[in-house]
Structure 1
Amino acid sequence: MADPFLNAENMTGGYGSGADILHGCNISVDKGQIAVIVGPNGAGKSTAMKAVFGMLNIHTGSVMLDGQDITALTPQARVAKGMGFVPQVNNIFTTMTVEENLEMGAFLRRDDFSDTIEQVYTLFPILKEKRRQHAGELSGGQRQQVAVGRALMTQPSLLMLDEPTAGVSPIVMDELFDRIIEVARTGISILMVEQNARQALEIADKGYVLVQGRNAYTDTGQALLANPEVRRTFLGG
């Protein structure tokens, strides 16, 4: 079998000189797959994603992307290698227009990116309609679309989303998940941290349940949804 497109193995570490939050954590995603990290509050879900993106120190473990060891690279260098990251908060420039936000996403590119902007507008039609509006005037769901769109402007091969549906209505959540599925169908790998565990696992090819920075369960999304122990402990029955 081929190696996973993203393969983060045995990650142990935390922030600065503080206590370790991750303990031998493993996360992998295949090409065009949607992988979801779920678990209780404080389980280390966002920390695991930030470790993959190089935002904290891991004492042990490695991060491989498309067969390359990127463990020592900065987040900026990882973006250049094909990682796109959408943080949960402060993920747009509120005083810039929607289109200016998207243009900021292309900061590393030296080619004509107008086609990519059109692709983002096709994925999120409301953004085209509001492209001249300041992003700070948009609804929470529309802001998330801007944040995802800006990450897509880097033409990532791996898109990482930290709680993309936080604070949005169930209707908007379903719409965002539909768009995420569309992105994955283009061959982009998706790694997502999500509080709405049941809904996220429904669209996941692979799911990781973390508890206290460790892998508690790893399986397909459907298998985790069907697992009585996972359902009882993490999905409310």
Structure 2
Amino acid sequence: MSFLLGKDMTGGYGAADILHNCTIGVERGEIAVVVGPNGAGKSTAMKAVFGMLDLRAGKVTMEGEDITSLSPQARVQKGMGFVPQNNNVFRSMSVEENLEMGAFIRTDDARDTMAQVFDLFPILKEKRNQPAGELSGGQRQQVAVGRALMTQPKVLMLDEPTAGVSPIVMDELFDRIIEIARSGIAILMVEQNAKQALNIADKGYVLAQGANLYTNTGEALLNDPDVRKAFLGG
């Protein structure tokens, strides 16, 4: 039983199903990566796990508990953090204010967690009083991830965390994601840079047309000639 598991998920928007018997999941301290071509249903699968999409079939469990009927807000209370690809910061608020917004569900003192976020992303400490909208794309992604970490999640879900950033920034973000996983947090992410993402993944899922084509370790998928030819550029 995976720590977080969306199992045999079928559903979509309105009458049209986008997911077809799709399964993705992750264990504590692991990095699980969902890859596949555009339109494969990757982000839809993440939204289904987070409760933003009603399922016609299948279920979502966390720590063995069926959470299929819970709202996204209730899932955050359970320990899920979700960073969407777009519109993931409050652009007019400062970096520090964005991080404080992430602690809204907490009743304890969150200053230690903010210090940990600043240790993880030193540039955010340097720019803590700057509006998030004035930051570079990579820095805004760091704010978005940092805000999710302020909730003290058990699992962090990232939808295309390196979209639109330079290769250098991508490598830095992946290094930080590895650090987060080593702290014991489960990481489930959709990523367009499939080869680089599978290189750091404990587990990988290759989706096409809303269904699982391949499921294996990241290393095994990188070394699978069919996966390499079809999805990784040979």
Scaled by the length of structure 1, the TM-score of the pair is 0.98
Superposition map of 1:59-98 within 5 A: 59-98=56-95
Q: CA deviation at 1:8?
A: 1.2
Q: Which residue of 1 aligns with 2:175?
A: 178
* Aligned twin of 1:18: 15
User: For the residues of structure 1 that align with 2:63 and 2:183, how far apart are their CA atoms?
Assistant: 17
For residue 125 of structure 2, the aligned residue among 128, 148, 156 is: 128
SS of the residue 2:16 aligns to:
coil
Residue aligning to 1:40: 37
Query: 1:45-64 residue pairs with structure 2 within 5 A?
Result: 45-64=42-61
In the aligned structure 2, how far is the partner of 1:57 from the partner of 1:14?
7
Which whole-Å CA distance do the structure 2 matches of 1:66 and 1:210 have between them?
24
- The structural deviation recorded for 1:236 is 0.7
State the 1:7 CA deviation. Answer: 1.5
Distance in 2, matches of 1:83 and 1:52, equals: 10
Give yes or no for the alignment of 1:228 onto 2:225.
yes
Match of 1:206 in 2: 203
**1:152 and 2:149 matched:** yes
Identity of aligned residues (%): 75
Give the secondary-structure state (helix, strand or coil) at the position aligned to 1:168.
Answer: coil
Which whole-Å CA distance do the structure 2 matches of 1:146 and 1:156 have between them?
A: 15
Match of 1:169 in 2: 166
CA distance in 2, matches of 1:41, 1:26: 18
Alignment gaps of 5+ in structure 2: none
Instruction: State the 1:18 CA deviation.
Output: 3.2
Amino acid at match of 1:111: D
* CA–CA distance in structure 1, aligned partners of residues 117 and 52 of structure 2: 27
Aligned to 2:2: 4
Partner Cα separation in structure 1 for residue 193 and residue 5 of structure 2: 24
The C-alpha deviation readout for 1:133-171, integer Å capped at 9, x for no partner, is 000000000000000000000000000000000000000
Q: CA RMSD in A?
A: 0.5
- Provide the secondary structure at the position in 2 that maps to 1:178: helix
Q: Distance in 2 between matches of 1:30 and 1:146?
A: 25
Q: Does 1:193 align with 2:193?
A: no
How far apart, CA to CA, are the structure 1 residues paired with 2:89 and 2:217?
Answer: 32
Any gaps of 5 or more consecutive residues in structure 1?
A: none
Aligned residues: 234
3-state DSSP of counterpart to 2:48 = helix
Following superposition, which runs of at least 4 residues in structure 1 exceed 4 angstroms of deviation? none
Distance 1:89 1:111 in 2: 29
